[in-house]
Amino acid sequence: MSKVVFDRPHALSDVPLHYCPGCTHGIVHRLVAQTIDELGIEDKTIGIAPVGCSVFAYNYFECDMIQAAHGRAPAVATGVKRSLPDKVVFTYQGDGDLAAIGTAESVHIAARVENITIIFINNAIYGMTGGQMAPTSLLGQVTTTSPYGRDPKIQGNPIRVCEMLATLDGTAYAERVAVDTVQHVNATKKAIKKAFQMQLEGKGFSIVEVISSCPVQWGKTPVEALEWIRTDMIPHYPLGVYKDITANS
């Protein structure tokens, strides 16, 4: 007798993803969908897609979805959640969306203690528009708009989002994870599930920052890109829990 040991989660739509070879968005999509399945919340979840590589996320999840303007997903999510407080609301945003154009929205969703979950993909680049510098691009990182490497005297310093949002009283849970190894993928799954669970328990704002790879715009092979996460990204963006109001209770 054969037994199914691995299958597509129901909450993940049965359509081809548009992501580039080696991109880790697909892994994170799957982890979010698995979480929705395991918590049995697809019927009462509303997801907000950003502008950026994951703009088509509205096609990839089986729950109700909204496509928001660039950076505005937390405000749209707030409008949904304040209208339907018993529903589960999450946004899925990249680094340009969340930490550049949408910085105000990202800070104030936490300040207002919105009971919403953000899945934040940090790959240190604007992928969709062709590899421009992101607010999280590393010092020295070559992009199409920092062709000589990011120079702090010209382009400033990268933003550490989890550390910043953890300073706000309204943030219930902030964890940075990565998807470069199997162990890290498993930890990411655990973090995403915890974030959704905290929303279900009404604990407040939760964010999971996922250090992800962008082989095409980084100019690396998929394997090299995963290695660069370990050698360059994680040293600047240390993994770990930055805020968890349930930790000592």
Residue from 20, 66, 168, 200 binding another protein (CB under 8 A): 66
Judge contact between 124 and 98, C-beta under 8 A: no
What's the CA gap between 57 and 61, in Å, rounded? 7
Q: Which of 28, 80, 162, 172 binds another protein (CB under 8 A)?
A: 80
The DSSP annotation for 66-89 comes to: EEPPTT-HHHHHHHHHHH-TTSEE
Nearest-10 Cα torsion for 24, 29, 32, 33:
-140
For the packed helices 103-111 and 73-83, what is the interaxial angle rounded to 10 degrees? 30
The phi, psi pair for 187, rounded to 5°, reads: -65, -35
* Least distance in angstroms from the C-beta of 81 to another protein: 8
Q: Give the x/- contact pattern for another protein in 209-228, rule: CB under 8 A.
A: --------------------
Task: Pick the binder of another protein from 32, 36, 77, 226 (CB under 8 A).
Answer: 77
Q: Which of 27, 31, 33, 55 binds another protein (CB under 8 A)?
A: 55
Interface residue with another protein among 63, 98, 99, 239 (CB under 8 A) is: 63
Q: Does residue 105 interact with another protein by CB under 8 A?
A: yes
Is residue 179 near another protein by the rule CB under 8 A?
no
| Continuous segment of H or E residues that includes residue 173 | strand 171-178
Positions in the binding site for another protein (CB under 8 A): 42-46, 48, 55-56, 58-59, 61-69, 72, 75-84, 87, 104-105, 107-108, 111-112
